Structure 1
Amino acid sequence: MNWLNKLTPPGVKSIFTKRDTPDNLWLKCPKSGEMVFAADLAGLMHVTPAGHHMRIGPELRFGYTFDDETYETFPTPSVVADPLKFKDDQKYTDRLKKARAKTGNDDAMSIGVGKIHGVDAVALVQNFAFMGGSLGMAAGEGFVAAAEIALEKRMPLIAFTAAGGARMQEGALSLMQMPRTTIAVQRLREAGLPYIVVLCDPTTGGVTASYAMLGDIHLAEPGAMIGFAGPRVIEETIREKLPEGFQRAEYLEEKGMVDQVVPRSELRATLARLLAVLMQKNHTEIEAQPAIQPVPA
């Protein structure tokens, strides 16, 4: 206690007592640096006025994708929680508990089935908030399960990818998910079912090296970082400065790696048009569906 506290009368001190206030009322836009009122983001589909697309979880993604925010969720298969008994500065099981408490999800993958402008579809959402969306056994099983649901119901599969790579706590077992998910994509192709990938920020590592780049069509949200290794690692390896915007969605679209960069407000309508062609549905009926319009700031 300092000398000023000793001289301050108790009644006066109570007036200036610090009140508990939420620390997430305002968010800083990474693109412009301006402060954005968090409550306004819902009406803007979690896109800042400067155009930065915030990372969102499965519930918001499903709501923005399916008609009338109506969909059915499917559980992902259970796997062995800690096959290698891994521990660094803390146990892997403890990391999983924290991630589950933070997100409310069992792992990084979530599966939803609903209609997009009247067309039935299966959506798989990879949640970056769950341990960086890392690809482990549970995520691999989730992808395979989504593909099997699409095969069983004869529906297209749409994967919203967001990951920092493979889950190091599972070692080689996480790397095995790359060929497993590749086989699942091949099964969809053999069945004649569309597989569309929406690349979200960020999509990197083993996810980019497998199912994220095996789609029939690749869409991307504006500004999404897409690549294998990060730009800093590449610069340190080749000892050269990378081009402006390297590994961003717009740069990859220019180079032909991404088919189209689509703002979040236009994504559902874009998916509907693609599905109308790929599933040979009535295009006129689908065009009649209203597009999602963000609420003006």
Structure 2
Amino acid sequence: MNWITNYVRPKINSMFGRREVAENLWIKCPETGEMVFHKDLESNQWVIPSSGYHMKISAKARLGYFFDDGAYELIPAPKVPQDPLKFRDTKKYVDRLREHRTKTELDDAIVAGIGKVSGIETVACVHDFNFIAGSLGVAAGEAIIAAFETAVKRHCPLVMFPASGGARMQEGILSLMQLPRTTVAVEMLKEAGLPYIVVLTNPTTGGVSASYAMLGDVHLAEPGAEIGFAGRRVILQTIREQLPEGFQTSEYLLEHGMVDMVTHRHDIPSTVGRLLRMMLNQPALEKPEASATGNGITLNGTGGSDPIVQILDDPGTRAKPPLVDARREATPAAN
């Protein structure tokens, strides 16, 4: 035992009131290396003020930023078997689930809630990347389907916030089967004449990008988000060619017509609210919210006075929804 380290130093620290400093007091920007005080970053919705880099955020924080006044009601997810394949890699799958549930205080990677966006009742479904990389398994698939069923039952639109590494390998084919199941849920919403908007966040990859993440009526994306199916390194090793600058970023996809708008995190609620009001043929708010960042909206590299109107009026829009009040025309659900 080192008596200086274990006895003398703690005594001196206690005499002079030395306090331990939290390790996450300052956070480094991944792009510029700038150190940002975490309280300033949190008050700016985890966007680096100087560089505009969008940090990953938790699902519940996302819902709080998105809904009016941060008020929403959680949609309960159905219970499913925890480890249907009895899978084990470096550790047991049940142990991995337990570890991430303790860390995130979530049951699985999907959190869904219902609240109001610009006064319109809306269901929002969010991936939490901190839970096994936001991967899609049976529990996540059931939670997504429950969110779509709630939207149809309540006759309201649904907004999806994917952030995922893809299907969850520990659940094998059961995980892959969630791709067609969630795709059917999307079609169920569209058959009801309800809008489906996707806000792509960093990262959106794998089976998630191959299913419901790319089936929206309108696709928004946060700046700098990585969006694609296979990773950049896999593609590079496959085709043996140099990839373009900014490949698989939201800005690159915007230029190539895969994304409709690149929108700053601060502007997402007001932008989605305007889209929903136009798609549901409801009057605009008397005083539209001003941009919190001044960055505005980028639309397919084109100008124009109102990019949202351009999207909805564009005959080439992939799945232009009918401009009707879906609540008024939908048949009330049977009790």
The alpha carbon displacement at 1:71 in A equals 0.9
Query: Counterpart of 2:168?
Result: 167
Task: Give the match's secondary structure for 1:42.
Answer: helix
| Paired letter, 1:47 | V
Given that residues 268 and 291 in structure 1 are in contact (C-alpha distance below 8 angstroms), is that contact kept between their aligned partners in structure 2?
no
- 1:2-81 equivalent positions in 2, closer than 5 A: 14-15=11-12, 20-49=20-49, 50-81=51-82
Given that residues 107 and 130 in structure 1 are in contact (C-alpha distance below 8 angstroms), is that contact kept between their aligned partners in structure 2?
yes
The alpha carbon displacement at 1:289 in A equals 5.1
Deviations 1:202-250 (A, max 9, x none): 0000000000000000000000000001101111111122111000000
**Judging changes above 3 Å, is the alpha-carbon distance between structure 1 residues 162 and 287 closer, same or farther for their aligned structure 2 residues?**
farther
Q: How far apart, CA to CA, are the structure 2 residues paired with 1:207 and 1:292?
A: 30
Query: Counterpart of 2:154?
Result: 153
Verify: 1:110 aligned to 2:111, yes or no. Answer: yes
Query: Counterpart of 2:331?
Result: none
Q: How far apart, CA to CA, are the structure 1 residues paired with 2:291 and 2:56?
A: 18
More displaced, 12-21 or 29-38?
12-21
**Judging changes above 3 Å, is the alpha-carbon distance between structure 1 residues 153 and 34 closer, same or farther for their aligned structure 2 residues?**
same
**Judging changes above 3 Å, is the alpha-carbon distance between structure 1 residues 292 and 197 closer, same or farther for their aligned structure 2 residues?**
same
- RMSD, aligned α-carbons: 1.9
Query: Counterpart of 1:209?
Result: 210
Q: How far apart, CA to CA, are the structure 2 residues paired with 1:208 and 1:221?
A: 15
**Judging changes above 3 Å, is the alpha-carbon distance between structure 1 residues 115 and 12 closer, same or farther for their aligned structure 2 residues?**
closer
The alpha carbon displacement at 1:58 in A equals 1.7
- 1:119-138 equivalent positions in 2, closer than 5 A: 119-138=120-139
- 1:138-287 equivalent positions in 2, closer than 5 A: 138-283=139-284, 286-287=285-286
Unaligned runs of 5+ in 1: none
Q: How far apart, CA to CA, are the structure 2 residues paired with 1:292 and 1:142?
A: 32
Query: Counterpart of 1:293?
Result: 292
Determine which structure has greater relative contact order: mean sequence separation of CA pairs < 8 Å that are 6+ residues apart, divided by chain length.
Answer: 1
Q: How far apart, CA to CA, are the structure 1 residues paired with 2:10 and 2:126?
A: 50
Q: How far apart, CA to CA, are the structure 1 residues paired with 2:189 and 2:9?
A: 70
The alpha carbon displacement at 1:12 in A equals 6.6
Query: Counterpart of 1:96?
Result: 97
Q: How far apart, CA to CA, are the structure 2 residues paired with 1:81 and 1:250?
A: 38
TM-score, length-scaled by structure 2: 0.82
Task: Give the match's secondary structure for 1:84.
Answer: coil
Task: Give the match's secondary structure for 2:162.
Answer: strand
Deviations 1:129-177 (A, max 9, x none): 1100000001111111010000000000000000001000000000000
Could you list the runs of 4 or more consecutive aligned residues of structure 1 that deviate by over 3 angstroms after TM superposition? 10-14, 16-20, 289-294
Q: How far apart, CA to CA, are the structure 2 residues paired with 1:77 and 1:167?
A: 18
How many residue pairs get matched?
289
Task: Give the match's secondary structure for 1:269.
Answer: helix
Task: Give the match's secondary structure for 1:124.
Answer: strand
Deviations 1:77-133 (A, max 9, x none): 111000000011111001101111111110011111111111110000111111000
The alpha carbon displacement at 1:14 in A equals 3.5
